């Protein structure tokens, strides 16, 4: 016994019924009284390992004890019992010390281990071998290791194992030679100290490779970490760092548990193979174990893996498991919004059941609040900081957080509700800065206008808003006589009926005032616009009629169609479209004789009055406005037919206005018209200058209607024409130049060059080219020049003259001229505009060059006569193929120039001769050339008039006659009016 208790020692696995001792003898009591004193054994274990005989007091084994199961990691295994006796009550403590026996053999975690050894390792290289685990304790645990077969290359180093570090190393005794022996098989045997001893073996395979000669190395061989007992799974314990100076895969490190790490530790912790982080994997309990040893190895990824080892000592620390508590002692609420900064709002105290740093508590509130905390020991006051505003926040829910200084710190929260009371510090605010109201005229009394709305951000009576009208006058009358407003709702109503023609707009000022002390107010302007309605019928000013008689108007019997009988003049008192007036003829005694203009009101005749017309006509005219609904007025008019209507001279005094009555608008209109006129005049002058400048670029001038050019010889012009034509002819096609043959009465013996000066509107520069004879003298066209040149001005250069187009026409068939030449200039101009794509029409510059040599004409006539053909000059028959003459009524005088052509001379013409081909430049004036006999009487002055002189004379005579006739009619009309 020791210290009042009995201690027994018993070996584990003792069989059931084995005697342990005698409790009666050991306690010095009578064994016969055990049963009478109702003894019993009390233990905290779920199993009853021992039994007491009530008769003899013998203590025996009731159930075998397995020490390794009962006390796995404890170095001393103890079982505590209490023996209770009654009559009198006595308590005895018993302690059973379970002794270990060698009932477990040493075992390795794995049955086979592989070690890669580079062949270049020097003797003395060390490799860590796995430790064997033995559940027994003391001398029964692993006491020795042996290696077999006893190879000369390897030996075991047991110094570290014998010193208690459990480190077992394989030492290289001699260099390895991979070529002689690449793999060596060793058997590692662990032997315990039992009697008899037990052992366990593991197969060690040593593979010799020649790579990776540096094992990973940890920063420290031992890591010491303190860890709270309530650490959650996944909590980081420590991050290990092992480095390998090798490169590539030989330097990549993989972390894992060492082979001698107990299985219980492996269940509580985990090691990340890549990062080396050691984390909590289970539930830690300080009461179960105060520290843990974790063995970690770092292995590189070289072909011959090498490993480094370290130990992690984890000390479990008791945790801070009590949170602080906040208690509200007093609260001052509500707080006026005008409270000064530093006003105390609440008083609080804080407590924590922990001790030391875990008991030290600090309080805080969220930032951005107009409050702050002041502390004194464990007492805190909540005070105001800054200005409070009820309109921004009527109340605050302040979260007070209490945090202790533990690791990790624990905290608790308490919410304090503080209300802010309102004061009258905001005037009413209107929803609109200005109100505009539109109300139709003739409104009923009390008509609703609008609702004025103002809000006050204050509360209670400080937010109650009443409305009123500020005193003022509108056209000398008080505002209250026009509109009224409800004080509670702000609704405005019309007190009177408004008339647009009298009052079109006015404004009132509305005041909104709250009920605070003192009251605050604000004002807003309300603009009221009276909208016009169609409440006025048109008023007819002229002519006027009464209920008994109609207005009288007179009309002469000689009135023509469209004669102005009278004009209805009416006005409307409304405005806008309500004042737009329309005139209608609703009734007439002669429906087809008169009509009235819809907008002007002018009554005119539709036809001339006859001699048998009735003496009077009765009309009814209605004037309607454009309102909705439309209103109208009518007037009855009696029109009397008289022989003569006297001209009424208006009274100028009635229409005279003082110059002072003219408005400034008239002056502005006069200035604007003058400015526009000057701009228009300058524009016309500028355009004329630009036009003449463009003509001058091509050697022309537009002055006085005549045009001049530099005189050139016919040979130069002929040469230039040939060059222009040949430059655009297809290769192999020969065409002679064509000119106009002008035949008069034989008086033209010189060569003339004419250039037509066209107006700016003449944009059609046209000529026609006919080839009536081939080079061999055969009749028929061989080529027709058809190209159209679009030019911006009439002065286009002659470089773009012609391009020839071959037509498949029978050589002996004469070419028919364009039938458009049979018409007058005006008709042909219209046809040309419609037929711009005529193959015989093209645009060119309007230069007409005419060479006239009498000798060539005579030679031409003689050649025609000698060839047996009749001269076209002497022909008086109907026009044959190729003959051109204007039809009757085509607008060409009989004295105009005409032309004919037929089979020509096969002789090549020179520059001074007339070929049997011609060019007709097109322009607004037609060129008509006619060959006449030498003895015919033709006015020489008709030359270059081209049939237009007589037409011009006739037009002038006709115009002069028309003017004379108009003057006569005016004179007659004046005479008739004066007679009447």
Which range is least confidently modeled, 189-203, 625-639, 865-879? 865-879
Three-state SS letters, 835-872: CCCCCCCEECCCEEEECCCHHHHHHHHHHHHHCCCCCC
pLDDT at residue number 46: 75
Q: Which residue's entry shows tokens 């229409």? A: 655
Cis peptide, bond prior to residue 518, ω within 30 of zero: yes
Q: Of 542, 549, 568, nearest to 621 (Cα)?
A: 568
Domain ranges, ordered by start, for the chain: 5-99, 103-210, 213-319, 325-421, 429-530, 539-645, 715-947, 953-980
The answer to whether the Cα torsion of 114, 116, 119, 120 is positive or negative is: negative
CA distances from 200 to 73, 132, 187, 259, 828 (A): 21, 8, 10, 15, 133
47-79: b or e for each residue (b if 16 or more CB lie within 10 Å)? eebbbbbeeebbbbbbeebebbebbeeeeebeb
pLDDT at residue number 195: 85
Say which residues have a Cβ less than 8 Å from residue 780's Cβ, sequence separation at least 6: 772, 773, 774, 809, 810, 811, 812, 813, 814, 815
Which residues are bridge partners to 349 per DSSP? 327, 379
More confident residue, 132 or 928: 132
Tokens for 387? 């200005």
Which range is least confidently modeled, 336-340, 406-410, 444-448, 688-692? 406-410
CATH architecture of 325-421: Sandwich (2.60)
What confidence category does residue 88 fall into, taking pLDDT thresholds of 50, 70 and 90? confident
What confidence category does residue 672 fall into, taking pLDDT thresholds of 50, 70 and 90? very high
pLDDT at residue number 842: 36
The pLDDT > 70 percentage for the chain reads 67
pLDDT at residue number 960: 53
Which residues are bridge partners to 335 per DSSP? 420
DSSP letters spanning 288-319: T-SEEEEEEEEEE-SSS--EEEEEEEEEEE--
What confidence category does residue 236 fall into, taking pLDDT thresholds of 50, 70 and 90? very high
Domain 429-530 has CATH 2.60.40.60: yes
Q: Of 211, 150, 212, 146, nearest to 184 (Cα)?
A: 150
Note whether 184 and 119 are within 8 A (CB): no
Which range is least confidently modeled, 8-12, 214-218, 711-715, 897-901? 897-901
More confident residue, 731 or 22: 22
Cis peptide, bond prior to residue 609, ω within 30 of zero: no
Angle at 156 between CA 151 and CA 158, to 5 degrees: 160
Angle at 130 between CA 126 and CA 135, to 5 degrees: 145
Distance CA(217)–CA(297), nearest Å, equals 9
Region 350-369 average pLDDT? 85
Q: Which residue's entry shows tokens 């409305």? A: 467
Distance CA(707)–CA(662), nearest Å, equals 54
* Residue 877 CB coordination number (10 Å): 7
pLDDT at residue number 167: 76
**3-class DSSP assignment, residue 955:** helix
The helix (H) or strand (E) run that includes residue 280 is strand 277-280
Note whether 786 and 839 are within 8 A (CB): yes
Q: Against a cut of 0.75, is the pTM above it?
A: no
Distance CA(608)–CA(637), nearest Å, equals 20
pLDDT at residue number 289: 81
Distance CA(631)–CA(179), nearest Å, equals 130
Angle at 533 between CA 527 and CA 539, to 5 degrees: 130
What confidence category does residue 166 fall into, taking pLDDT thresholds of 50, 70 and 90? low
Say which residues have a Cβ less than 8 Å from residue 368's Cβ, sequence separation at least 6: none
Look up the CATH number of domain 103-210.
2.60.40.60
Distance CA(142)–CA(199), nearest Å, equals 8
The pLDDT > 90 percentage for the chain reads 31
Rg (C-alpha) for the chain, rounded Å, is 68
More confident residue, 472 or 768: 472
DSSP letters spanning 536-575: ---EEEES---SS--EEEEEETT--TT-EEEE-EEE-SS-
DSSP letters spanning 207-229: EEES------EES-SEEEEEEET
The yes-or-no verdict on residue 145 having pLDDT over 70 is yes
Note whether 119 and 209 are within 8 A (CB): yes
Region 417-421 average pLDDT? 92
Quick: pLDDT tens for 303-343: 778 899 999 999 988 677 778 999 999 998 899 988 899 99
Region 776-786 average pLDDT? 37
How high does pLDDT run on average in the chain? 74
CA distances from 68 to 71, 104, 107 (A): 5, 9, 15
Distance CA(551)–CA(640), nearest Å, equals 11
Region 37-63 average pLDDT? 84
The yes-or-no verdict on residue 887 having pLDDT over 80 is no
Which range is least confidently modeled, 23-37, 218-232, 520-534, 641-655? 641-655
Same CATH topology for 5-99 and 429-530: the answer is yes
What confidence category does residue 678 fall into, taking pLDDT thresholds of 50, 70 and 90? very high
More confident residue, 775 or 168: 168
The yes-or-no verdict on residue 97 having pLDDT over 80 is yes
The yes-or-no verdict on residue 416 having pLDDT over 80 is yes
Q: Choose from 174-178, 662-666, 729-733 the range with maximum mean pLDDT.
A: 174-178
* Phi (first) and psi of residue 675, to 5 degrees: -65, -45
Quick: pLDDT tens for 832-863: 444 433 433 333 333 333 333 334 333 333 44
Note whether 639 and 546 are within 8 A (CB): no
Note whether 99 and 46 are within 8 A (CB): no
Burial zone of 961 (CB within 10 Å; 0-12 exposed, 13-18 middle, 19+ buried): exposed
Which range is least confidently modeled, 366-380, 486-500, 692-706? 692-706
* Superfamily covering domain 5-99: Cadherins (2.60.40.60)
Distance CA(95)–CA(92), nearest Å, equals 10
pLDDT at residue number 939: 43
Q: Of 588, 591, 593, nearest to 620 (Cα)?
A: 588
The yes-or-no verdict on residue 765 having pLDDT over 80 is no
Q: What are the E-state strand segments in 539-666?
A: 539-542, 551-556, 564-567, 569-571, 581-588, 594-596, 602-605, 616-625, 632-642
What confidence category does residue 104 fall into, taking pLDDT thresholds of 50, 70 and 90? confident
CATH architecture of 213-319: Sandwich (2.60)
Look up the CATH number of domain 539-645.
2.60.40.60
């Amino acid at each position: 016994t020791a210290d009042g208790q009995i201690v027994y020692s018993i070996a584990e696995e003792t069989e059931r019924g084995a005697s342990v001792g005698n409790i009666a003898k050991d306690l010095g009591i009578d064994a016969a009284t055990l049963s009478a004193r109702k003894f019993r054994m009390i233990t905290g274990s779920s199993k009853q390992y021992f039994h007491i005989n009530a008769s003899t007091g013998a203590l025996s084994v009731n159930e075998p004890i397995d020490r390794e199961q009962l006390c796995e990691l404890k170095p001393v295994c103890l079982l505590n019992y209490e023996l209770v006796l009654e009559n009198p009550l006595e308590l005895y403590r018993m302690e059973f010390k379970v002794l270990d026996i060698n009932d477990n053999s040493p075992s390795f975690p794995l049955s086979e281990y592989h070690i890669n050894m580079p062949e270049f390792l020097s003797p003395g290289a060390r490799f860590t071998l796995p430790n064997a685990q033995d559940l027994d304790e003391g001398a029964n645990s692993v006491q020795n290791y042996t290696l077999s077969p006893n190879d000369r290359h390897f030996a075991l180093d047991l110094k570290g194992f014998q010193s208690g570090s459990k480190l077992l190393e394989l030492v290289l005794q001699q260099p390895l030679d991979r070529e002689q022996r690449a793999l060596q098989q060793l058997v590692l045997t662990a032997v315990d100290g039992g009697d008899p001893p037990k052992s366990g073996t593991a197969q060690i395979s040593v593979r010799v490779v020649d790579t990776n000669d540096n094992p990973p190395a940890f920063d420290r061989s031992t890591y010491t970490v303190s860890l709270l007992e309530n650490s959650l799974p996944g909590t980081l314990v420590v991050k290990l760092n092992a480095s390998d100076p090798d490169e590539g895969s030989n330097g990549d490190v993989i972390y894992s548990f060492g082979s001698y790490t107990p299985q219980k530790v492996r269940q509580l912790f985990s090691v990340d193979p890549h990062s080396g982080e050691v984390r909590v994997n289970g539930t830690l309990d300080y009461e179960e174990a105060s520290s843990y040893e974790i063995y970690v190895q770092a292995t590189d990824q070289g072909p011959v893996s090498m490993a480094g080892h370290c130990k992690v000592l984890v000390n479990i620390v008791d945790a801070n498991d009590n949170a602080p508590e906040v208690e509200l002692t007093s609260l001052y609420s509500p707080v006026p919004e005008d409270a000064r900064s530093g006003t105390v709002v609440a008083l609080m105290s804080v407590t924590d059941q922990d001790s030391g740093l875990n008991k030290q508590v600090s309080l805080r509130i969220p930032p951005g609040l107009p409050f702050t905390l002041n502390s004194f020991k464990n007492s805190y006051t909540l005070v105001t900081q800054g200005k409070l505003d009820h309109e921004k926040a009527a109340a605050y829910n302040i979260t007070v957080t209490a945090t202790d200084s533990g690791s990790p710190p624990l905290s608790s929260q308490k919410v304090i509700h503080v209300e802010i009371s309102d004061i009258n510090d905001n005037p009413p605010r209107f929803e609109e800065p200005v109100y505009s109201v539109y109300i139709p005229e003739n409104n009923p009394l009390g008509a609703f206008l609008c609702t004025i709305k103002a809000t006050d951000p204050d509360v209670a009576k400080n937010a109650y808003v009443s409305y009123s009208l500020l005193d003022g006058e509108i056209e000398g009358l008080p505002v209250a006589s026009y509109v009224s407003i409800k004080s509670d709702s702000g609704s405005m109503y019309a007190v009177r009926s408004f008339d647009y023609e009298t009052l079109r707009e006015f404004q009132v000022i509305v005041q909104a005032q709250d009920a605070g002390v003192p009251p605050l107010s604000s004002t807003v302007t309300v603009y009221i616009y009276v909208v016009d309605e169609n409440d006025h019928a048109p008023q007819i000013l002229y002519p006027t009629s009464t209920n008994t008689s109609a207005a009288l108007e007179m009309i002469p019997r000689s009135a023509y169609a469209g004669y102005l009988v009278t004009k209805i003049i009416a006005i409307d008192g409304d405005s806008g479209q309500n004042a737009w007036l329309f005139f209608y003829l609703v009734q007439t005694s002669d429906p087809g004789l008169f009509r009235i203009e819809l907008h002007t009101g002018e009554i005119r005749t539709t036809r001339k009055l006859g001699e048998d017309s009735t003496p009077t006509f009765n009309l009814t005219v209605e004037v309607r406005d454009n309102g909705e609904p439309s209103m109208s007025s009518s007037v009855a008019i009696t029109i009397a037919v008289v022989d003569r209507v006297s001209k009424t001279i208006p009274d100028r005094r009635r229409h005279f206005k003082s110059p002072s009555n003219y408005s400034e608008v008239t002056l502005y209109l006069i200035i604007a018209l003058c400015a526009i006129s000057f701009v228009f005049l300058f524009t016309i002058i500028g355009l004329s200058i630009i036009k003449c400048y463009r003509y001058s670029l091509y050697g022309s001038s537009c002055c006085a209607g005549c045009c001049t050019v530099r005189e050139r010889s016919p040979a130069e012009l002929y040469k230039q024409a040939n060059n222009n034509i040949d430059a655009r002819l297809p290769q192999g096609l020969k065409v002679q130049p064509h000119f106009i043959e002008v035949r008069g009465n034989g008086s033209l013996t010189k060569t003339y060059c004419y250039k037509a000066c066209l107006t700016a509107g003449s944009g059609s520069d046209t000529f026609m080219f006919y080839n009536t004879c081939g080079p061999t003298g055969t009749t028929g066209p061989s080529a027709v020049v058809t190209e159209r040149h679009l030019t911006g001005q009439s002065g286009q250069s002659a470089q773009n003259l012609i391009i020839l187009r071959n037509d498949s026409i029978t050589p002996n068939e004469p070419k028919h001229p364009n039938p458009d030449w049979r018409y007058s200039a005006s008709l042909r101009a219209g046809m040309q505009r419609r037929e711009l794509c005529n193959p015989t029409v093209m645009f060119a510059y309007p230069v007409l060059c005419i060479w006239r040599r009498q000798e060539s004409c005579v030679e031409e006539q003689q050649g025609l006569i000698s060839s047996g053909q009749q001269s076209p000059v002497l022909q008086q028959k109907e026009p044959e193929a190729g003959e051109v003459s204007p039809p009757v009524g085509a607008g060409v005088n009989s004295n105009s120039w005409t032309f004919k052509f037929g089979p020509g001379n096969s002789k090549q013409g020179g520059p001074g001769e007339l070929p049997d081909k011609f060019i007709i430049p097109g322009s607004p004036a037609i060129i008509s050339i006619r060959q006449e006999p030498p003895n015919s009487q033709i006015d020489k002055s008709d030359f270059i008039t081209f049939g237009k002189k007589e037409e011009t004379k006739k037009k002038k005579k006709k115009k002069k006659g028309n003017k004379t006739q108009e003057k006569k009619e005016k004179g007659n009309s004046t005479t008739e009016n004066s007679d009447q």
